[in-house]
């Protein structure tokens, strides 16, 4: 069969509008398409491919587990799931782990747990969930409603209730909404889809204090920020606060679908047998690959290397901006970097993405006016420099058009 982009329009539901480029193989931070054109990957599958493409440790883990056992229902447990859960617990604040298939499912579990915890400890009136405008927590109906972007949740009928949205980095807006009837406050420790917005120290610590004051759980959505992305294993470790529930996915499997919810024993006990589940959650193949990714990332060499790469990105982007004057801000934590377009180019982030593809570079957007970079955590410095040379050519093409 001759596989072309046109087949997508014939057989796929039209909720995506993929590029005409169809990648067929990758190695490290390089990808090749059907015509053998080479691209440098600064997108990372939206912060998923934390070790690039076909990393030897992940390939070995997949091949080894593929010769053993692929799937078991949760009527039984399995060794890869138990090893990975133990490593997650040992490395974080958490005592207990729940495995799912994606970030949305991990967040769904976190929200259901928070509601059940509040109901059983305080009663039906403690049901309010507060999250933040421009936040993103997944595409299930519960998580997309908690997410603070109405464009993603409108048009599907009545939404789940008792959900409010405050303004990120505006503690007063949260204080105006929170009460003793709040069961949880959910937030990203750095907003991804919302424009690569990092929290101020006052804000993030203030959220923790307000949660404590009102006996509300603090849920950190670390689906995008976790597993080394900010230079810490999890972003909370660099913020001076500890959540009650944390969700992780994306980079957790290094490209293999897996998600997890982490929490304490006292909170976890409210998900009794039969209250929640997932057919594929804790799948042996997924957990084996995720364990290899976790072991590779959770080392001083990889985590310290993120800061070095962040500095190179920001320095080179500033140099590009000095020449072409296209950005109003260059920001982010670790290898989740955002370049916000200035007034001249506002709303044109997709144009920069498309121009980058033409120069052999894969990037992302975070809203209409922010270009997002989320490459491999171990991307060679030479690939960063080469990729940003391609990016500068893309910028120049737009500026000089």
112 and 175 housed in the same domain: yes
Looking up tokens 């804000």 gives 203
Structure tokens at 185: 């406050």
- Do the annotations mark residue 139 as ligand-binding? yes
- Same domain for 213 and 313, yes or no, is no
Q: Is residue 1 part of a domain?
A: no
pLDDT at 401: 87
CA–CA separation, 288 and 114 (whole Å): 29
Is 278 marked as binding a ligand? Answer: yes
Q: Which two tokens stand for residue 358?
A: 């033409």
Residue 103 counted as an annotated binding residue: yes
**Would you call 61 exposed, middle or buried from its count of C-beta atoms within 10 A (0-12, 13-18, 19+)?**
buried
Cβ-contact 147, 138 below 8 angstroms? yes
Active site residues: 136, 221, 250
Same domain, 27 and 63: no
Find where tokens 């000095």 sit.
322
Residue 390 lies in a domain: yes
- pTM tops 0.85, yes or no: yes
H-assigned helices in 275-373: 284-297, 300-324, 349-358
Cα distance between residue 109 and residue 98, in whole Å: 8
Instruction: Report the distance separating Cα 261 and Cα 120, nearest Å.
Output: 20
Q: Is 136 annotated as a binding residue?
A: yes
382 is in an annotated binding site: no
**Does the annotation place 8 within a ligand binding site?**
no
User: Can you name the residues that pair with 100 across neighbouring β-strands?
Assistant: 259
Of 234, 263, 297, the position where a domain reaches its end is: 297
User: Which residues, 6+ apart, have CB-to-CB distance to 123 below 8 Å?
Assistant: none
Domain encompassing residue 337: 6-54+300-399
| Residues 69 and 205 occupy one common structural domain | yes
| The pLDDT value given to residue 391 | 98
State whether residue 8 is helix, strand or coil: helix
Strand ordering across the sheet containing 30-33: 23-27, 30-33, 38-41, 361-362
Final residue of a structural domain among 265, 297, 329: 297
- Mark whether 79 and 19 lie in a shared domain: no
Where does a domain end: 273, 297, 321?
Answer: 297
Same structural domain, 61 and 49: no
When divided into structural domains, the chain yields a total of 2
Identify the pLDDT of residue 81. 98
First to last CA, the chain: 39
Q: Which one-letter DSSP state was computed for residue 251?
A: G
DSSP-assigned letter for residue 133: B
Identify the CATH number of the domain in which residue 242 sits: 3.40.640.10
Residues 384 and 143: their CA atoms lie apart, in Å, by 34
38: Cβ contacts below 8 Å, ≥ 6 apart: 30, 31, 32, 360
3-state SS, one letter per residue, for 201-238: HHHHHHHHHHHHHCCCEEEEECCCCCCCCCCCCCHHHH
Name the pairing type of β-strands 163-166 and 128-132: parallel
C-alpha 71/C-alpha 140 separation (Å) is 24
**What is the Cα–Cα distance from 34 to 22, expressed in whole angstroms?**
6
Is 340 found in the same domain as 319? yes
Same-domain status, 258 and 307:
no
The pLDDT of residue 77: 96
The verdict on 76 and 155 lying in the same domain is: yes
Cα distance between residue 2 and residue 82, in whole Å: 43
Q: Does 135 map to a domain? A: yes
Residues 311 and 184 in one domain: no
Q: Closest by alpha carbon to 282, among 119, 142, 99?
A: 99
CATH number for 374: 3.90.1150.10
Q: 169: which DSSP letter?
A: T
**H helix or E strand, kind and range, residue 329:** strand 327-333
Between helix 56-66 and helix 284-297 the angle, nearest 10°, is 150
Q: Which residue has tokens 């060794």?
A: 79
Count other Cβ atoms within 10 Å, centred on residue 15: 6
Mean pLDDT by 10 residues, the chain (401 residues): 94 94 97 97 98 98 98 95 98 98 98 98 98 96 94 94 98 98 98 94 98 98 98 98 98 98 98 95 98 98 98 98 98 98 97 98 97 98 98 97 87
* Sign of the CA dihedral with 306 first, then 307, 311, and 317 last: positive
């Amino acid at each position: 069969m001759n596989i072309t982009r046109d087949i997508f329009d014939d057989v796929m539901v039209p909720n995506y509008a993929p590029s005409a480029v169809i990648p067929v193989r990758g190695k490290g931070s390089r990808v090749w398409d059907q015509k053998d054109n080479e691209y440098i990957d600064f997108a990372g599958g939206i912060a998923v491919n934390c070790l690039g493409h076909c990393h030897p440790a992940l390939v070995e883990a997949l091949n080894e587990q593929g010769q053993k056992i692929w799937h078991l229902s949760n009527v039984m447990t399995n060794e890869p799931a138990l090893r990975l859960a133990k490593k997650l617990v040992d490395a974080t604040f958490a005592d207990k782990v729940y495995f799912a298939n994606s970030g949305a499912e991990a967040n769904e579990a976190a929200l259901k747990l928070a509601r059940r915890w509040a109901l059983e400890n305080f009663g039906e009136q403690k049901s309010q969930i507060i999250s933040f405008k421009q936040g993103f927590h997944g595409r299930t109906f519960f998580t997309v409603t908690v997410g603070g972007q109405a464009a993603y949740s409108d048009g599907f009928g009545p939404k789940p209730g008792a959900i409010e949205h405050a303004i990120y980095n505006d503690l007063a807006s949260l204080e105006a909404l929170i009460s003793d009837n709040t069961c949880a406050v959910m937030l990203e420790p750095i907003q991804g889809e919302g424009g690569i917005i990092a929290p101020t120290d006052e804000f993030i610590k203030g959220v923790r204090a307000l949660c404590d004051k009102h006996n509300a759980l603090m849920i950190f959505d670390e689906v995008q920020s976790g597993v080394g992305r900010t230079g810490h294993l999890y972003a909370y470790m660099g913020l001076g606060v500890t959540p009650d529930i944390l969700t992780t996915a994306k980079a957790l499997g290094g490209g293999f679908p897996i998600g997890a919810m982490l929490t304490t024993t006292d909170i976890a006990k409210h998900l009794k047998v039969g209250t929640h589940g997932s057919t594929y959650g804790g799948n042996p193949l997924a957990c084996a690959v995720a364990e290899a990714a976790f072991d590779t990332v959770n080392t001083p060499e990889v985590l310290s290397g993120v800061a070095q790469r962040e500095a190179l990105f920001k320095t080179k982007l500033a140099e590009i901006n000095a020449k072409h004057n296209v950005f109003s801000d260059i920001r982010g934590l670790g290898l989740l970097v955002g370049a916000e377009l200035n007034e001249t180019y506002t709303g044109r982030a997709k144009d920069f993405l498309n121009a980058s593809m033409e120069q052999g570079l894969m990037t992302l957007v975070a809203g209409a006016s922010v270009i997002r970079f989320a490459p491999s955590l171990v991307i060679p410095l030479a690939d960063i420099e080469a990729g940003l040379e391609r990016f500068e050519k893309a910028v120049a093409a737009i500026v000089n058009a």
